[in-house]
Structure 1
Amino acid sequence: MSQHHTLLIVGGGAAGVSVANNMRRQNAKIDIALIEPSEKHYYQPGFTIVGGGAYTLKQCTRNEADLIHSSVKWLKDYADSFQPDSNTVTLRSGETVTYDYLVVCPGLQLDWSKISGLKETLGKHNVCSNYSVEHVEYTWECLKNLQSGNALFTQPPMPIKCAGAPQKIMYLAADRFRKQGILDKFNIEFYTATPGMFGIPFFAKALMKVVAGYGIKTNFTHNLVAIDGATKTATFEATDKDGNKQQVTKPFDFIHVTPPQSAPDFIKTSPLANAGGWVDVHDKTLQHNKYPNIFGLGDATSTPNAKTAAAVRKQVPVVVDNILAIMNNKALAEGYDGYGSCPLTTSLSTVMLAEFSYGGKVTPSFPLLDPRKNRFIWWIGKKIGFPWMYWSLMLKGSRFDIPHKASYVESLTKED
């Protein structure tokens, strides 16, 4: 069996749904189909505060069918392989779909199996992860019953979805312990495979002050490689400044694990992938570097930006407008500058709103406010404003933009 569509979209997450609905607003007649097997759609930026007890999974969940425009054909199947020379995608069912234009945005793959023992113990023995929809509520179950002990939080090698998420839940937990008057009964440690708290020094320095305020111990270049839930021990591969590696085992009473992540396997083995396994696109036009009628956006692409929903929001109009430009024999616009945003929940009432573009340039949407400050207004944004923007504007295909720029932040960066 085979079918043809003018625009075919692989992936029905934040990127895929937004592209479909945005394109429909720009062109009411174009034939669009979207490949997505899942019937539920999750607002993943909310998972951090679900695990922290400030939000519910129900608030993060919608039916996929309710989000896709009725004129867009939903192919409820998995994309299995690509044949770009014949403009064809083969589905897991064996059906083939041909296209004139293809948008690839399947998101990231969570590689739980790369940590020995994790799959067997996740969701038990106080081993949890906000990255798992099946276990995000277990994080809160653990934290609200914890009274003392070793509380560990881990971060794998980059790239991952939202680089700040592994430490956000740590601050929420620490603040809750402090409010309960039991913070001094805990040894809280952050184990990260990275060499610092954040990839952008401007924010890393500010976050180290947050860490110090809670008395958290940091362990850089420590990558979690194994976990034993029954004995409550975690094993890390520690790398020193000379590149020497050794294994370190740490007992825990609670551990929040962020799994290693990569492009989906069906992308890695496809003709669309670069040497690293990512969808190989131009970092500003988001057009594939080999196949001009193919575009990519979101977490699975080769662009060196933060993998966040905020990045997708900026990428969607670039992809849509450039596809329309090709249709009308017009030049493509280099419209994406690498913008990403990470609302860092530093307590149960404050957020540090980190915004940046390619090269680690700090580009806040509100440049008169020092972006290193922990503010209550951004907490309201995290709980109310940003989810509303996601469900009511972005996914529905509306275009809204708050210009981001450096302003006096550049001088602050130089001073630091």
Structure 2
Amino acid sequence: MTDTQYAERYSVVIVGGGAGGLSVAARLRRAKPELTIAVIDPSATHAYQPGWTLVGAGVMPLASTLKQQGGLIPHGVTWIRERVRSIHPEDMTVALDNGAVIEYRRLVVCPGIQLNWDAIDGLKETLGRNGVTSNYDRDGAAYTWECVRNLNGGTAIFTQPPMPIKCAGAPQKAVYLSCDYWRREGVLHRIKAQFCLAGDKLFGINYYVPSLQKVVDYYGIELRFKENLIAIDGEKKEATFQIIGTDQVIVRPFDMIHVVPPQSAPDFVRQSVLANEAGWLDVDSATLRHNKFETVFGLGDVLGTSNAKTAAAVREQAPVLVKNLISSLAGEPLEASYDGYGACPLTVSYGKVVLAEFLYGGKVVSSLRYDQRKPSRIAWNFKAKIFPKLYWYGMLRGIDPKVSRKQVNTES
């Protein structure tokens, strides 16, 4: 390529304008205003997706989770509203769908995760009607609430696909909040709630499982492990599950079904030289720099690291990435390190949350001074009121409160 073929050149190009991309852009702009920074993202609307669980429970209006993307781009940062076609780290370029080629000195890859609705036969044709819904879909979250409040009896199925997925606790949050609503309305005894998981346990961190099992037992939820949804017929109201590790399938009737689609890295990452063998962005788990290409960094749900794919993880990754990226530009060693922190506020009822926090290796940590396995109103207040404000007015602006955490003795 010659120089005349490059449409634009930037010090730092950020692929993805979600929580990770905007947080990194804001931090970089504040720390190094002399850098030229571009964010590539085609979306006109930015969504606070952690709020969709509460939208699906009638607690939060959908509109409050959405803002115009243009108003969130940090001042002095260029917004390129296009889709990425491919990334070429050997040439230090990004190719866009419109034919433009963007050159960078450093690249930050954080396009989020890809929801593979087509992987479940018949799902796209019936999603949003026939009682088929999903809080992982913007419009679906509002439809979830419609389905829940209109169901007075019958079978309600909630699904969870094979890991990894973003916010791995979200599928069961939908179960608990739905059951609590039906309990309050006096119709829970007429509803058979089934939670069908592709995995073999309720939650990835064993420390929290007994607390969550008590919630399952309280609502009378039927747990179906190693069942993966592969097809759905909305007109017949039938869902087909495959038993993991076998060819056996089970067809389950439903009156309402909350579906979580299988997920992967976006195709332009998964099919590139940036991906590991499993198809995720191949970065060092501590420094967040790519394991093969020193000019590439990454954060968020696209990573092939073992941490939970949550907004809390992105909040902790952003300052580490920015410090290391600046060191990289200066030719200095990368000294900042991400410890795998993730958090999942498990809404077990209206007004109560089990706040799970953990590091790499499933090490349990705590930010609050109580046993966080116990459902808490304090944690609910964080989930419903404080976290959204911290997201819009702190995280996206690259400003976060310093939090002190202690490791928990999980033997107690």
TM-score, normalising length: structure 1? 0.96
Alpha-carbon shift at residue 330 of structure 1 (Å): 2.0
Contact 2:133/2:143, CA 8 A, preserved across alignment: yes
Matched with 1:91 is 96
Counterparts of 2:242 and 2:404 in 1: how far apart (Å)?
Answer: 42
1:315 aligns with 2:312: no
1:154 aligns with 2:159: yes
Alpha-carbon shift at residue 280 of structure 1 (Å): 0.6
Counterparts of 1:400 and 1:281 in 2: how far apart (Å)?
Answer: 26
Gaps of 5+ in 1: none
1:194 aligns with 2:199: yes
> Which stretch has the larger CA shift, 325-334 or 283-292?
325-334
- Find the partner of 2:221 among 216, 219, 244: 216
Counterparts of 2:274 and 2:84 in 1: how far apart (Å)?
Answer: 13
Alpha-carbon shift at residue 329 of structure 1 (Å): 2.5
Matched with 1:378 is 379
Q: How do 1:182-331 and structure 2 match up within 5 A? A: 182-239=187-244, 243-331=245-333
Matched with 2:181 is 176
Counterparts of 1:71 and 1:287 in 2: how far apart (Å)?
Answer: 25
Letter in 1 for 2:202: M
Contact 2:115/2:264, CA 8 A, preserved across alignment: yes
Letter in 2 for 1:190: F
Alpha-carbon shift at residue 399 of structure 1 (Å): 3.6
The Cα offsets for residues 66-125 of structure 1, whole Å up to 9 and x where unpaired, read as 111120000000111111111110001010000000000000000011111101111111
- Find the partner of 2:345 among 343, 346, 351: 343
Alpha-carbon shift at residue 334 of structure 1 (Å): 4.4
> Which stretch has the larger CA shift, 202-211 or 327-336?
327-336
Letter in 1 for 2:75: S
1:117 aligns with 2:119: no
Report runs of 4+ in structure 1 exceeding 3 Å deviation: none
> Which stretch has the larger CA shift, 243-252 or 163-172?
243-252
Letter in 1 for 2:311: A
The Cα offsets for residues 125-175 of structure 1, whole Å up to 9 and x where unpaired, read as 100000011321111111111101101100000000100000101111100
Q: How do 1:20-99 and structure 2 match up within 5 A? A: 20-99=25-104
The Cα offsets for residues 326-378 of structure 1, whole Å up to 9 and x where unpaired, read as 22232112410000000000001111100001001111112x31010100111
Gaps of 5+ in 2: 1-5
The Cα offsets for residues 370-412 of structure 1, whole Å up to 9 and x where unpaired, read as 0101001111111110000000101011143212221xx31xx
Counterparts of 2:134 and 2:377 in 1: how far apart (Å)?
Answer: 26
The Cα offsets for residues 261-287 of structure 1, whole Å up to 9 and x where unpaired, read as 000011111111111111110000000
Counterparts of 1:51 and 1:172 in 2: how far apart (Å)?
Answer: 9
Counterparts of 1:313 and 1:375 in 2: how far apart (Å)?
Answer: 23
Counterparts of 1:267 and 1:147 in 2: how far apart (Å)?
Answer: 44
Q: Secondary structure at the match of 1:329?
A: coil
1:405 aligns with 2:391: no
Contact 2:323/2:336, CA 8 A, preserved across alignment: no
Alpha-carbon shift at residue 27 of structure 1 (Å): 1.3
Q: How do 1:136-151 and structure 2 match up within 5 A? A: 136-151=141-156
Letter in 1 for 2:323: D
Matched with 2:3 is none
Contact 2:324/2:336, CA 8 A, preserved across alignment: no
Counterparts of 1:372 and 1:270 in 2: how far apart (Å)?
Answer: 41
Contact 2:327/2:334, CA 8 A, preserved across alignment: yes
Q: Secondary structure at the match of 1:322?
A: helix
Provide the identity percentage. Answer: 49
Alpha-carbon shift at residue 29 of structure 1 (Å): 1.6
CA RMSD in angstroms comes to 1.0
Counterparts of 1:329 and 1:400 in 2: how far apart (Å)?
Answer: 29
Contact 2:240/2:251, CA 8 A, preserved across alignment: yes
Alpha-carbon shift at residue 245 of structure 1 (Å): 3.9
Q: Secondary structure at the match of 1:218?
A: strand
Counterparts of 2:87 and 2:98 in 1: how far apart (Å)?
Answer: 14
Q: Secondary structure at the match of 2:366?
A: coil
Contact 1:317/1:399, CA 8 A, preserved across alignment: no
Contact 1:4/1:97, CA 8 A, preserved across alignment: yes
TM-score, normalising length: structure 2? 0.97
1:17 aligns with 2:22: yes
Matched with 1:360 is 362
Counterparts of 1:150 and 1:54 in 2: how far apart (Å)?
Answer: 23
Counterparts of 1:55 and 1:399 in 2: how far apart (Å)?
Answer: 23
Alpha-carbon shift at residue 2 of structure 1 (Å): 1.4
The Cα offsets for residues 286-336 of structure 1, whole Å up to 9 and x where unpaired, read as 000011111000000111100000000000001100011122232112410
